[in-house]
Amino acid sequence: MAAIPSETVLSTRHYTDDLFAFRTTRPASFRFRSGEFAMLGLMANGKPLLRAYSIASPNWAEELEFFSIKVPEGPLTSRLAKIAPGDQILLKPRPTGTLVLDALLPGRTLWLVSTGTGIAPFASVARDPETYERFARVILTHTCRTQAELQYGIDVVDGIRADALLSEVVGDRLTHVASVTREDAGPGRLEGRITRLIEAGELFEATGTRPWSPDEDRVMLCGSTAMLADTRALCERAGLEEGSNAQPGRFVVEKAFVG
Ligand code: A2P
């Protein structure tokens, strides 16, 4: 078996006790579509320990970015949480996944609906100019338990606005909707699970849109198993049908991976 290639850690940022982001070098041969995931990990007890990680950087970026939870007893994330610039991580080539533009039919509005670290693939999709070639409007929703957990998404969107080239492409067509479920939301923020915000119509009111329709709306979902089950049901109730790489549709789903 060929050795798994390794990449160098360039930077890390710890957001909370449970969440951190890191960047690595990207080999010239490492190609992916924005929204895909790769197998990433470390050597542990002489063996490679790998998990699926969504690539959070867009496909044009020179570096790779990942956003991870830290599970104290998690075999991989407890070790990964300690990486520092200069360390090596294992990264398998040939990413794959369904949260890609190719798995969706053309539409007007793209909804990127995430909870927790499920925002990672959307940090990639929202920073890809091709997304804005295909959709007139992009709405990124991120729901977490606490405000501190929203910071990564806020930084990604601030980064888009601060980037001269990207902000010209994106203009005012990207809307970021952040909500929390276990804390006061604070001014201008929505409160509650995304499922409730959809069912109560608050999401559509806040974004000046209409409830999802098969003609206009395309949805990507990424979060916990329970969140996906409930939001998938709302997609189906709106008359959207699931797409895949082989057969593009009106919504696509991927589980937020845990280590
Ligand atoms: P809640 O605080 O009400 O459980 P987690 O960290 O457990 O993955 O949760 C991330 C976010 O997803 C939390 O805000 C959580 O809300 C929300 N969530 C959990 N389960 C569901 C679900 N079935 N549908 C929608 N949102 C959910």
Q: How confident is the model at residue 259 (pLDDT cuts 50, 70, 90)?
A: very low
CB of 145 within 6 A of ligand 1: the answer is yes
Q: What is the pLDDT of residues 146-156, one digit of tens each?
A: 999 999 999 99
Pocket test for ligand 1, best of 17, 193, 194 (most atoms within 8 A of CB): 193
Nearest CA to ligand 1 atom 19: 227
Q: Is the domain defined by 101-253 classed in CATH 3.40.50.80?
A: yes
| Residue partners of 144: CB distance under 8 A and separation at least 6 | 115, 116, 150, 178, 180, 181
CB of 233 within 6 A of ligand 1: the answer is no
What is the 8-class DSSP label of residue 242?
B
CATH 2.40.30.10, the chain: domain bounds? 6-91
Residue 175, CB half-sphere, CA atoms under 13 Å: how many?
18
- pLDDT value of residue 1: 58
| Dist. CA 218 → ligand 1 center (Å) | 22
Task: For residue 145, give Cα distances in angstroms to 43, 117, 129, 182.
Answer: 32, 12, 30, 5
Instruction: Tell me the pairing of strands 37-44 and 88-91.
Output: antiparallel
Whether pLDDT at 106 is above 60? yes
Nearest CA to ligand 1 atom 18: 227
Rounded to whole angstroms, the Cα distance separating 53 from 126 reads: 17
| Dist. CA 83 → ligand 1 center (Å) | 28
CB of 227 within 6 A of ligand 1: the answer is yes
| Residue partners of 130: CB distance under 8 A and separation at least 6 | 34, 101
- pLDDT value of residue 258: 65
pTM of the model: 0.97
Domain at 6-91, CATH from 3.90.25.10, 3.90.550.10, 2.40.30.10, 2.70.98.90: 2.40.30.10
CATH 3.40.50.80, the chain: domain bounds? 101-253
Residue 170, CB half-sphere, CA atoms under 13 Å: how many?
21
Q: Other CB atoms closer than 10 Å to residue 4's CB: what's the count?
A: 16
| Ligand 1 atom at shortest distance from the alpha carbon of 226 | 23
| Dist. CA 225 → ligand 1 center (Å) | 10
Pocket test for ligand 1, best of 117, 145, 203 (most atoms within 8 A of CB): 145
Q: Other CB atoms closer than 10 Å to residue 78's CB: what's the count?
A: 14
Q: Interior CA angle at 113 toward 79 and 131, to 5°?
A: 100
Nearest CA to ligand 1 atom 21: 227
Q: What is the pLDDT of residues 51-84, one digit of tens each?
A: 999 999 999 999 999 999 999 999 999 999 999 9
Rounded to whole angstroms, the Cα distance separating 163 from 169 reads: 10
Q: What is the pLDDT of residues 196-252, one digit of tens each?
A: 999 999 999 999 999 999 999 999 999 999 999 999 999 999 999 999 999 999 999
| Dist. CA 19 → ligand 1 center (Å) | 16
CB of 117 within 6 A of ligand 1: the answer is no
Whether pLDDT at 157 is above 90? yes
